[in-house]
Structure 1
């Protein structure tokens, strides 16, 4: 694999760390800025909203800039946002810093996916995308626990300064290793937006929202679920999140490997398995061992969907992939926000801390239904393009055949 993928993975590592580390530092940030923990939680919400809004806007603004230079500018924005967060004297400034950093998130992964896919042969694109996203998954195994430890020991401001340093490393890597790819010719907003008229692009994004929503319905409330239902000590939550991160790494790599061979089969397996695990987790969370296994599998099965869904968006938006790819990253965050809200609704309604798992199972099952619909539409479209006397055999159909 090209070394440029390493630079993209480093940038992804920094972005993943800053996105998730705040969850482990909310009490420290709240105390340092003189606000309540629920108010500090707006730093998570603000980041997610910034990703959703910033992904298409930053991608559109970058259509006339070479992809390498745009990636460098995005890493610069990420660095500035984290420095603002580290130096914030009041909560409002901290929130601004989080939003500034989030504006780089979606466009970096969207443009980075296009760059990663373009660095390798067509039959290795999903694997290349998964290697870039490995930086995001490894962040949850290494970056987030270490960042939480540093924040609790030396202060949360130090954590964000270190994250800014990761951004500097990512910027240097992109500058040194990513080839100087020119701006895509003939890119127009109308042409980029036209990708959203393709039902397959919309279906892939809907699967992203629902499938990843299934993951975060459970993981958002993993701390009270593990301590109140499974009986783990508060101190055990950290290593359980590491276990979740290890699942993310494994699932992402497996998803990338098999999506290049049997993309739709990989989606069926991951989404179906995720729905089953979440359903079983709803009734089996009381068992410590079963709960730990479920946490790992949720991470693995959830992130096994990332490379195939991102590749599917690129395949069907091949004439204008950049905006669609970035928007799909926003769809991940939309799924996060939707699932967290739905999970809170069922808990507030009195159904207990395991109820979000049932919500996640329903979301994952709905994504699986959409996967079947998507492939059926693709086969129908392929048949309509072939003479009645000829068998259907197109590259798209073959790639999608389970």
Structure 2
């Protein structure tokens, strides 16, 4: 496997840590900035908003760019945004830096995926992408608790500085190992847009958004819930958040193993599991013992569906995947945006942190219904003509 693939995975780890670590820093940031915890939680939604817009837009804009130059530009802007955020005491300035850094992070994701596909043989692409995407999974295990520990002991600004420093270091690796020059082949934008007309693709995007919303409406306020409702000492919060990451690693590993052969079964089990865990959190949020069990399960079911959701999109958009895959990345961030926003509304209305579990369960049940619709469309011959590349054998059986 080319070293560049691992460098790109490390870059995703650095940037993904920034995406995730605010879940453990909300109380500290809220107190320092003089805002409520739900308002601080909107900084998570701000990051997702930037990714929502950035993924499809920059995927199209950078189709003809020299890949290494674009990757370095995205990383440089990401680092600068975190430096500005670390130096600012204004909530709205920090909000803006979160949007900007997420915008270029989304562009980095889209371009990193295209770069990986060009660096390895077709039979190695799945493994290569798992290495790159694995950077985000490792961020939940190492980056999230590490960022929380740094934030608790040195202040949340120190966590921002740490992300900026690590991201700057990855620029050296990108410069040294990612090939320069323009891509040898450039996808046709017209073909990409034609694929986007497939209605089954948009049903799949809906499942992606609902799946992510189900997990993130709880995850966004998990640190505050553990201390404010469950009664777990602040010092133990990073360890419990680390359990979420361990569960996520187990979930994505198991989900990846079954996603190709049984995508719909994987999605059904994942949606049902997320709904069950979320309602259990709503009921048991006051119990430390229950939460220690439920937190890794939340991570496991939340990540288990990701491989099937991604594989589904690539199957429906085979031959013109750039914009379709980038839009699926945006769909993930619709869930990341809407989930914490709704959770913040519930908490702000006085319903307590446990209420986010009920919202997560509603998202999970809606996802279950969406997957059922998608499965029904898959088995209807009349829909096969929508796209010449829509059906592949592995999606015809449970």
Mark yes or no: TM-score above 0.5.
yes
Q: How far 1:24 moved relative to its partner?
A: 3.5
Matched with 1:361 is 361
Q: Tell me the number of residue pairs that the alignment of Structure 1 and Structure 2 aligns.
A: 393
Residue number in structure 2 paired with 1:340: 340
**2:302 pairs with 1:298:** no
Structure-2 residue corresponding to 1:275: 275
Report the alpha carbon displacement of residue 183 of structure 1 after superposing the two structures with TM.
3.1
Aligned partners of 1:92, 1:309: CA distance in 2, in Å? 34
C-alpha separation in 1, matches of 2:35 and 2:53: 26
Residues 1:36 and 2:32 are matched in the alignment? no
State how far apart, in whole Å, the 2-side matches of 1:163 and 1:81 are: 11
Residue 392 of structure 2 corresponds to 396
How many Å separate the matches in 1 of 2:286 and 2:31? 33
1:158-185 deviations in whole A, cap 9, x for unaligned?
3323212221233333344445585374
Contact 1:124 1:260 in 2 (8 A): no
Residues 259, 71 of structure 1: alpha-carbon distance in 2 compared, 3 angstrom cutoff: farther
Measured at CA, do residues 233 and 165 of structure 1 come closer, stay the same or move farther in structure 2, by a change above 3 Å?
A: closer
* Structure 2: stretches of 5+ with no match in the other structure: none
Who is 1:388 aligned against? none
Deviates most, 74-83 or 329-338? 74-83
Larger mean CA deviation between 234-243 and 301-310 belongs to 234-243
- Per-residue CA deviation, residues 29-74 of structure 1 (Å, 9 max, x unaligned), is 5666x54355555533332221112222222211111444433332
Task: Describe how 1:363-378 pairs up with structure 2 within 5 A.
Answer: 363-378=363-378
Displacement, 1:120? Answer: 5.5
Q: Does 1:161 align with 2:139?
A: no
- 1:111/1:326 contact within 8 Å kept: no
**Cα root mean square deviation, aligned:** 3.0
Alignment of 1:200-215 (within 5 A): 200-215=200-215
Q: By how many angstroms is 1:396 displaced? A: 0.6
Query: How far does residue 131 in structure 1 lie from its aligned partner after superposition?
Result: 2.7
Q: Is this contact kept in 2: 1:151–1:158, CA < 8 A?
A: yes
Which residue in the other structure is 1:390 paired with?
none
Aligned pair in 2 of structure 1 residues 91, 338: CA closer, same or farther (>3 Å)? Answer: closer
Cα distance in 1 for residues equivalent to 2:226 and 2:153: 24
Gapped regions of structure 1 (runs ≥ 5): 386-393
TM-score by structure 1 length? 0.85
- Relative distance call for 1:19 and 1:384 in structure 2 (3 A) is closer
Tell me what 1:235 maps to: 235
Q: 1:278 & 1:25 partners in 2: Cα distance?
A: 22
**TM superposition score normalised by structure 2:** 0.86
Contact 1:72–1:174 (Cα < 8 Å) also in 2 = yes
Q: Report if the CA contact (8 A) 1:127-1:256 is conserved.
A: no
